Each structure stands twice: as C-alpha cells, then as structure tokens.
Amino acid sequence: MDYRLLIASLLWGSLVAIALRAALIRTSDNQLQWKVCLLTFGIVLAAALPVWRLKSLLYDGEINVDESQLLSQAMRYAIDPLPWRSVDGGSSGPLNTWVVLWAPLFGLKFNYLAARITSILCLWSMFMGLALALAELAGRRLALLLLLPALTFVLTTTNLDFAFLSSEQLPSAISAWVIYLIARQLRAPSRWAAYGIGLLTGALPFCKIQIGPAAVLLFLAAAVVLWTRFGASRNLLRWLLVQSAGGLSVPALILIPVALGGAWNEFFQFYIHSALSYKNTGAAMPAMDVSALFFSVREFGFLSVLSGLLTIFALSAAWLNRRAFLRQKSYLWTFLLSFIYLILVAGSILKTGYPFPHYLMFLIVPSVTLLGVSFIPLHRVQQVHEETAPKFNRLSIAGLCVVLTAIFVQASATVGDLVRNPVLRGNWGSGLHPIGEVIRKLVNPGDSIAIWGWAPKFCVMSQTPPAFRFSQSLFFLDESPAFQEVRGFYLDRFLNDLEKSRPKLFIDAPDEFMWPGYPHGIMARHWALPVLSEFVRKNYSLLGSIESPPGKTAIMIYRRKEDGPN
C-alpha cells in the first residue's frame, strides 16, 4: 500500500469536508465559524501541499532549467544584491530571485529543496488569498467550495511543470492578495488597503515583466472602486494619492539603488528593451502546439481547460443574474474588469509563442476571480434574506455541482498523466550529476565558475556561484534578427564579467540544455567566439572532460593557469 498516497487523499478529503462545512454555515454574520473553517482549511492545506509533492520536494535534481536559473541567480544576489548589475534575469525580475534568499537565514543552501519549499509557500499564500477574496465576492458559504477545482488541480497534477519553483508562482500569489484587497475596498474602503494595493501592484512587474499590463489593470480597477465610493471629490484624490504612493514604493526601492549603482543602462537593455523588442523568431513553436497548450485536457493544457470551465460557469451565472448586473452598474463594471483581466493574462501567455505548461499558472487567479465576481449579486441578495434561506440553497448546490464536475475531469487527466510521467512514481531516482562532485573537489570557498552553455544546474549541484550575470550563453551565437541589435551589448557585459570575476573553472557544456525549437548543434563550443577563445587559451588549461549521453558533446573542464599545474 502507498501510505503517502493514502495520507494525501485523506488530506484532500479533509479540505473538501471543510469546504462543505463552510457552505452549511447558516448565518453569514457568524464570523467565528467562518474563521474556524478558514484557519482549519489553511492548516490542512499547509500539510497537504508538501505531502502531495513529497517526491518532487525530495528530488535532488533539476526538473526545469528555470528553477536552476533562479537558484544560481540567488547565489549572485547573495554576493551583490543590486539588480541587473550582477544578474540579467531576463523576463524574471529580481523579486522572483530575492524570494529564495530566505534559505541561508535558516541554514539551507541554495538547492532544489529550498526552491520547492518556496514554491509550496507561494502556492499556499495564493490559495489563502483567493479564499479570502472569494469570501468577499461570493460570500463565506461558497468561498472554499469555489476554490476547490483549481486547488485540486495544483495538488494532484503529475505534470512536472507544476512540480518546481517557476517564475509564475510568486506573482500569482501577490495577484491573489491584490484581488482580496480590491474586494475588501468594495465592502469597506481602507487607506491601508489602498496603500497595499499600490504596493503589491507596483511589485508585480519586478516579479515577471509579462504580468506588467495586468498589474496596471488591477491598479486601475482599484481606482475605479474608489471612484464608485467617493465620486469626483477631494476624498477620492486623497485616496488615489495613498494608492499611488504605494505603487511607487517598490519601483523606488529597486530603481534608485540601480541608478546609483550604475546599472540603469542594464535595467533598460536587459529588462525593458528586451521585453518591448521581443519577437518569437527561429525558436517559434507551431501554432497547433500553442493551441494544444490551451485546449488539450490530457496533455499540458488541463489547467486552461479548467479555467475555461470556470469561466463558462461564471458567464452562465452572470447571465442568469443579468438583471441585477444591469440594475447595479458597479456590479457590471466589476464583472467587465474581471473578464478583461482574464483575457489580458491569457494574451500575455500566448504572446510568448512557447507552449510551456507552467505559464498557465497565471490563469488560476483571474479565472477564480471571475467566478467569484459572477456571484456578487446573489451574495448580496442572500445577505438580505439570510434568515429565511434554507441551509443548503440552490446557490450552494450549483457551486457543489461545478466543483464535482471539475474534480471528475481533473481525476481523468491525472490518470492519463500517470501513464506518461512514470518519473513521479515511487521509484524516482537520484538527480545527481557527476560534475557536481567534480566541481566541489576543484574549487574553494569564494571561488566562482564560468559555464559556456545553458547549465545553471552545475552551480546548484556544486553550490558554487556563477562567474557572470548570464545563466546561459546561447543568445551570443543566435543569428536571428531579434538578437542582432543587442548582441554586442550582451557580449561586452559577458566578457567584462569574466575579466572581473576571474573564475576558478571554465566549463564548456553546450549540449546540456538546448532551447526548444533550435536545431541541434547551433550552440557551438566556446571557440566559436574568437575573443572568448583567446581569453580561455591565455588564462586556462584543459583539465579533462566528462562524457555525456550519446549524441551530445562531452563536458570540457578548464582550470585557471595561475592556480597550479594540471
């Protein structure tokens, strides 16, 4: 018997039972019963997440190169925390890496365990924020029930793209709390909530730049809520100033030191310019693959299908209550803004052109938000007639039906995934790479390593920081038009970092990871760049090589000449 699966199933069943108990609370004003349900739900969820993810939590190996990149960047930030001076980051902003810096404070290394604990904390925070938001929008009785479909997916999915710390999880958690604060403003405006909305929306673009447009929309939505409460008065201006002050806080805390530290140019080139000029060129996936990301239940797109089901349910609920929406223009505006929010986030995912499943994590918050907003009119009516309403009214039954339907579909998808992902079964082996031990024997504390290729996992496995800000060197050789304009700028920074850091080892590993869609062999050895080849020849000696799997080039290890004979 698989006791882990049994315990995981019991914990999931407990979450369902708590959600049903909350639905049976007779009086919406009984805050004590709701708080007990929410607290118990949070405690059980905090236990369920690590139990369901135990195999990936204890897997000491790379699941996705993005996770290794975040960890290797954290090693650089631990030395120099100034964004863009020591870390490129690409579309993933500094907050996505800083969030891992808690690890050494608790005696942990920047390893995969620390990353996956961070992932669990982000997911727990996201669902608790959504639970509170749904309680404000749809009422306490249905809040936990309506949360269960998305929560069940994240708990039970065997898709490896949801088993590691992705750069979508922290901004999703922050977005959930923004939604909660906006929902609170609908009921009882607070200056602290206004400042919090500004603070969190201002932080979102520094987590993941693709979420920037959605952050702007959420900020404007909060402003619309204030306008509906105060109209064109001086009070409105004061509240908007408070919210704007919050919105400027995080950018100021990050960008002022960046400017003073001489990294302003890097900020625009590596973060702003790269996002605005990005075009999917040679690495583009076929359109049918992108469609599969959104519409395939049995493959990677189940979360988008689930979001679609919740959206359809939300639209149906809104249609049934269209009279209430039309009578109360504030309801209608809230619903429209929520729908635009979902479309905007979906567009940011499709823009990349790459069907990576972890991008779909962004869909959870907007789809659940839209579902909650669709219940606002019924929730308001229920508050007025609560004493005469039955314990389990038609609204509760409808919510339970959509929950059970979504969970049934999820169960079918999970069974299919188990067949295709045997790596998640009990015989999941060690993820150790032999080069980790090799590097540890060759370096001393304070040393760094330079990796030619896309293998930040070498830094994680050896616990040795990278010598330069880039976690990959593919784009230095990319001949596509998208990179021609900035290729010289990137290369200058790459060589400058190499000169300054003088890494102990230079490791040539061009085949360890290849960007999907690129033909094999496009990532050449380091001598494809004459200036780099000359630097290595003058300063390094070849120690040896490690054989790679068939079809891939061997990993070549060079040591700095001044550190002794071969």
Rounded to whole angstroms, how far apart are CA atoms 310 and 495? 50
Q: What is the mean pLDDT of residues 150-169?
A: 86
Maximum average pLDDT range among 148-157, 346-355, 479-488: 148-157
Q: pLDDT band at residue 398, thresholds of 50, 70 and 90?
A: low
The 10 Å CB-count burial string (b at 16+, else e) for 1-21 is eeeeeeebeebbebbbebbbe
> Which residues on adjacent β-strands are paired with residue 559?
505, 541
According to DSSP, residue 209 is labeled G
Instruction: State how far Cα 501 lies from the chain centre.
Output: 31
What is the Cα–Cα distance from 451 to 65, expressed in whole angstroms?
A: 14
Model confidence at 316: pLDDT above 90 = no
pLDDT class for 549, splitting at 50, 70, 90? low
Tell me which residue of 105, 9, 109, 115 sits closest to 57, measured CA to CA: 115
C-beta separation of 125 from 378 below 8 A = no
SS3 of 518, please?
A: coil
Q: Which of 397, 389, 396, 383 is nearest to 30 (CA)?
A: 383
310 neighbors 371 (Cβ within 8 angstroms): yes
Mean pLDDT lowest for which of 217-221, 279-283, 365-369?
279-283
pLDDT of amino acid 68: 92
How does residue 385 score in pLDDT terms, banded at 50, 70 and 90? very low
pLDDT digits (tens, 9 = 90+) for 57-105: 888 888 888 899 999 999 999 999 899 998 987 778 999 999 999 999 9
Backbone angles phi, psi at 385, to 5 degrees: -110, 30
Describe the strand order of the beta sheet including 555-560 as a list of residue ranges: 449-453, 505-509, 555-560, 540-546
How much is the pLDDT for 392? 46
C-alpha pair distances (Å), 505 with each of 19, 543, 544: 55, 10, 12
DSSP 270: I
Contact 300, 292 (CB under 8 A): yes
Is the alpha carbon torsion for 278, 283, 287, 290 positive or negative?
negative
Angle 191-203/234-260 helices, nearest 10 degrees?
40
What's the rounded Cα separation, in Å, for the pair 109 and 100?
10
**Structure-block tokens of residue 68:** 């290794």
Dihedral (C-alpha) 406, 410, 411, 412: value to the nearest 10 degrees?
Answer: 110
* C-alpha 248 chain-centroid distance: 23
The pLDDT assigned to 284 comes to 46
Q: How far is CA 522 from CA 142, 282, 453, 479, 526, in A?
A: 54, 11, 11, 10, 12
| Separation between Cα atoms, residue 233 and residue 217, nearest integer Å | 22
* The pLDDT of residue 346: 87
Query: Which secondary-structure segment (H or E) carries 542?
Result: strand 540-546
Percent of the chain with pLDDT over 90: 37
Sign of CA dihedral 254, 255, 258, 263: positive
* Each residue's pLDDT tens digit, 479-492: 666 666 667 788 88
Lowest-pLDDT range, 132-141, 342-351, 522-531? 522-531
Give DSSP secondary structure letters for 380-436.
HHHHHTGGGS-TT-HHHHHHHHHHHHHHHHHHHHHHHHHHH-GGGSTT------HHH
3-class secondary-structure state, position 2: coil
Longest dimension (CA), the chain: 88
**Closest by Cα among 406, 404, 412 to 20:** 404
* Structure confidence by residue, pLDDT tens digits, 175-215: 999 999 999 998 888 899 999 999 999 999 999 998 999 99
Tokens of 76: 């650089």
Secondary structure class of 545 (helix, strand, coil): strand
Cα separation, 486 vs 410, whole angstroms: 44
The model's pLDDT over 506-538, given as tens digits with 9 standing for 90+, comes to 999 888 877 666 655 556 888 888 889 999 999
